[in-house]
Every structure is written in structure tokens, then in C-alpha cells.
A and B are shown apart, each in its own frame.
Chain A
């Protein structure tokens, strides 16, 4: 058994990883590197292959092809119980016949470590469960069980800690609390965390790097701010936050900008923020990047801004901001978030001009079927 050292954390690399179940490809040519010590979030809709990917890394599922590397070691064919990788299962999978102490000590004992009391108590302190050591899992709340699951995996100082929607079973308030807790623990121990979730807000608040997965493939990967600001596919633009979009055709260039002719007029987008430089293009912009001008104030719209006209169809006041739905002249419904700096709200039926800076625009390939 390769004794987990815990001294140095190593990069996890997946190379052309494929997993098929019969005709169905659950994970398709996945290649990615997860830097040592990072908090990595794997984000995607239900059924996109997140759990399957984690299970392959943990050794619970054999890849159809491809390689899994931990540092410079190929662990593709290594038995799960020999891998320097531990998992926090979605259902926690705590051993019901063992108390919390023994659950946490399980991995150490299997590796023949005799003196477990010190590390176990230290780990229970870290997850703030010291007084619960002699209870059985059934006597703990959901959040406490979740922390036991983390402690039980972390105590082994794995090269990589895999977390499969560990917060899925918790209510919203507890989720937020545990997100902060997990992030604190990760910073404290410095282990690589691979965190699977389909909650985009969770991924963005916790992770250094987010990978958005769809249909067994990684669509885009990077720091949350970067992906949010500049999505590379329509799927990412809509899965990570909200986006408004309009399809147009590139008509020319003006300096660093592409000029795109669309249904409501022409728009500018920086060429560097577009995946295509010619032909059909999907322009996108985030709802909070939009400003609204009405009748009298339209003259104040900066000349360089892109603009679209329409009619307010719905206004929902949420306190900090108001969310408007605006029907554009060409019949698309756009979402606009306006901060409530004034008390004058717009009402359904009001004619408005929506405008935004070109540098907040992104250009994407038009997805098939649009």
C-alpha cells in the first residue's frame, strides 16, 4: 500500500478520460488539470457526468479509456483502497455501527496506524465536533453528519479530496454556513478539493477554479470572475448566471470592435471578446450590466453604448434592486437588474431604451437550433 504522505500535494490530471455505459457516453474525452492545493468546482446540470468523473478518480468506476494522473504517477488502474484520494459521498455513507470517533479513525486504522486518538481528536476539533465523538451517526443532525464525512476523509491527508454535492441535503441557511466552513477548512489544510455541485452560486463563492460541464464534456474552465465575465459558449452564459442574447451578423470593424448588425440595429463588441470574427454571431450581455433610459433621459445615453428599445412587461421590486422584464422591438424578452438608487420605478407598458457598454458585450458561436 502506498502510504499517503501528506507532505506535498500534487496536481491531478485527467487525460482523454472516457466512460461509456453501453452506447451512452457519460464522460467524453475529458482532459483537465486540477492544480495542487486549489479549490476546484465541477459544475453542471443533472446527468452531465460529474459523479461519474469523481467515481473514476476515486477508483470506484473503471474508465473506458484515458488516464488519471496524480502528480507523475498514473493511478488509472490503481485499486480504490490504494489511492491517495478520499471521497465525501453525497449521502455521507457514514458507518452506522461505529461511533463518530471510529468513523473518523477508520482510514487511519486500515493503514495500520496505532495511535489514532491524537489525530482523530484534532480532526474533530477542526470540524467542531469534539463533544460528539462517542455518538452514533444516527444521533447527529444533517450538518453534523456532513462534517463527520469531511473529517473522515480529510484525516487521511489525501492528495485530493473529492466532494460529491456534499451540501445537497442541507437547507439553504445551513448550506451557506457549511460553504464558509468548507472553504475555511480547505484553506487551513491546503489539500486539493474537487467539489461537485449543480449550484452555480455555490461554485462561484467557494472555488478558485470552476469547470462547467455539459453532456460529458468541459465547456469552459477558469476563475469564476473570468468565466462569468466572458463565457465562451451559450451554455455557459446561461448556466452560470443569466444572460440576454441577440443573434446578428458581423458587418465590419471599427478599431478593436466588431460591428454586428442585428434585429434592433447595430452593436459593437470588442473583437477580443468574441469567439467568432465573421458571419453569424450570438451577442450576449449580463442583466446587471444593462442600464435603462426613459423618454426624457435617452439623450444622456453615451454615444458609444449599444442600445435596444422595448417596452417594460414586468417589474419586480426586491429591495436592493428591481428586476425588469423588457420586451424588445423584435420580440425577445430581456432581463434587466437596476439598483434602486431612486424611488421612481418603471411600470409595465413604459417605453424604454436599454443600453450598455460594448466592453460588457460578449460574442459567441450561435448554438445549433437557434
Chain B
């Protein structure tokens, strides 16, 4: 049918043009976002990267462009204990937050009934006060002469006789501050589970605990993964909790970066520390997600 061929071809061209125009509109709509990201994320990142390779000029606080890879070696050799502490503290804080958040999210999702909305507001309520202020409040709560410390001391439960200025205080602060980031994704995942599935598990000879293990827990895994990441990542870069609640021995990477930038004015090492942190976290996240076996869920 040669007579029809040009018509068909013509139609194709016009459809193609329409698609192109629509695609162009989509890109145009993306522009502000891309510009924003470029200006406030990529540019500082590149600048930070160049800073991390600068070499000293002899004058303190003044550096010149260079390729000082040694900055990275310095960062690691001087500050590896802070890295280790960061990941241990935030790891423990994350597990703690998960243990606290899971029953809470479960209760809100399945048992709270009409109180659900109110409880969710209460979960995010701490955000109405400043992060710094809330962490200061914990200094009072955990103070040596405070109720908690004196009670635990009376029971001889504290090896060091105090909580404030110990790793325990830092970890407590971290899990407290990032708890909502754990609760909300967990709640979102649990709330989507049909309660009839729990009944079905019971009907099929699963005790309440087995039913939880075999049905609720696997179905809530996406929330667990999201919640732990949202807690662990910001916690491992945090320095406020370590500063306000810990002793100088409990400093984390965030503190090392802060001190190098603001006190020592050693910008290259501070930048190198930031980059190392930025490299380790995705690596840990990758390993974690692979082990959780839920790449397709995140």
C-alpha cells in the first residue's frame, strides 16, 4: 500500500514532535531545582574537595591550591578513633531508637484508634523546640545531682557514678533526638499492613509471636530500613550531642570537623574528614541494605 506510507510517516513525525515538546516542558520545570542543587550543593562540594587538597603556606589559617593527598592520611591517622566512636555511638543509638520506636509505632498503627492523630502529633512535637535547646534539657535531666542519676546511683547501677559526660549520655541524646525519624517511617510501613493478615496468621496456627515474626516484621522491613538510615546517617555526623552531653574523650567525627574548621583553622584536614565521612556512610548503607535484602524496597 504505497499510497498510505507517506500518511503514516507524517503522523509519526507529528507524534514525535508532541512528545519532544512535552519532554522539553518537563526539563524546563526541573530547571529551578537543578539550579538550586547546583548552586547550594555541587558548588560547595567541589570547593570543599579542592580545599581538602590545599597545602599550607606557612601562615596559620592560610592555604594555597595544591594536591596534598597527605591531608587524607592525616585525617585518618589523627582522627580514626573519632570515626570509630561515631559509628559505634550512632549504631547503638540507632538500635536503641528502633527498640523504642517499634512498639510505639505498632501501637499507634494498630491499637490507638481515635488517638492515632494526636499521638502522631506528639511524636513530632519535640521538633517545635530547637535541637540545641532540647539537648541542653538533657544536661539537666542527666545531671549528676538529678533524679535519674541519683536513683541509679542509689541502686549502684552506674560504674562511673554518673551519666552526664559519659558515652551513655551521648548515645541517649542521639537516640532521643533522632527518634521521630525512626518512628515515622516505621509507622508508615506498619499502618499499611492489613490487620486481617495478622488474624489469618493466627488462624493458620501461628502464635501471636510467630505471627509477628513471619508476617508483621517482614512486611515492616521497608520502614525498618528507612528508619534506621534516617537515624544512623544524621547521628553519625552529629557533634552537638557529643559536645553538650559527652566528655572530651567522647568526641565524634562531627566534633573533629568542627574543631578543625573553627579552632585550628585547618581547613584542608577538616574538608578531608568530611569527605571520608561522606565516603564511609554510603559504603555502610550499601552493605546494610544488601544484608537486609531489600534493595528493591528502598
Contacts and interface: CB of A to CB of B under 8 A. Distances in A.
Contacts of A80: 199, 202-203
B196 interface: yes
B16 interface: no
22 contacts: A1-B205, A59-B203, A60-B199, A81-B203, A81-B205, A81-B211, A87-B200, A89-B199, A91-B196, A93-B197, A95-B197, A95-B200, A95-B215, A96-B197, A96-B219, A97-B215, A97-B219, A106-B201, A106-B206, A107-B204, A110-B206, A152-B204
B74 interface: no
A81 B210 CA distance: 10
A107 B199 CA distance: 13
Contact of B205 (A58, A91, A111): A111
A93 B202 contact: no
B199 A93 contact: yes
Nearest to B208: A81
Given A79-B207, A110-B214, 10 more contacts: A1-B205, A60-B203, A89-B199, A89-B200, A93-B200, A95-B200, A95-B201, A106-B214, A110-B204, A156-B204
A58 B219 contact: no
Given A89-B196, A96-B219, A110-B210, A156 B202 contact: no
A86 interface: yes
B194 interface: yes
B200 A81 contact: no
Interface in B167-204: 194, 196-197, 199-204
Given A60-B199, A97-B218, A91 B194 contact: yes
Interface in A46-86: 58-60, 79-82, 85-86
B235 to A, nearest CB: 29
Interface of B is mostly: helix
Given A93-B194, A97-B218, A58 B200 contact: no
Interface centre among A80, A89, A94, A107 (most CB of B within 10 A): A80
Given A91-B196, A95-B197, A86 B203 contact: yes
Most chain A CB inside 10 Å of its own CB: which residue of B201, B202, B211, B215: B202
Nearest to A107: B204
Interface residues of A, number: 25
Interface in B104-130: none
Contact of A58 (B194, B203, B218): B203
Given A87-B200, A91-B194, A93-B200, A81 B218 contact: no
Considering the complex of A and B, which 9 residue pairs feature the smallest CB-CB distances, nearest first? A110-B205, A93-B200, A107-B204, A93-B196, A80-B202, A110-B206, A87-B203, A97-B218, A106-B204
Nearest to A149: B200
A86 B204 contact: yes
B135 to A, nearest CB: 39
A94 B219 CA distance: 13
Contacts of B211: 81
Nearest to B196: A93
A25 B4 CA distance: 74
Contacts of A60: 199, 202-203
Contacts of A79: 202, 207
Interface in B218-274: 218-219
Contacts of B210: 110
A93 B214 CA distance: 14
A96 B218 CA distance: 10
A247 B199 CA distance: 48
A79 B218 CA distance: 24
A89 B210 CA distance: 20
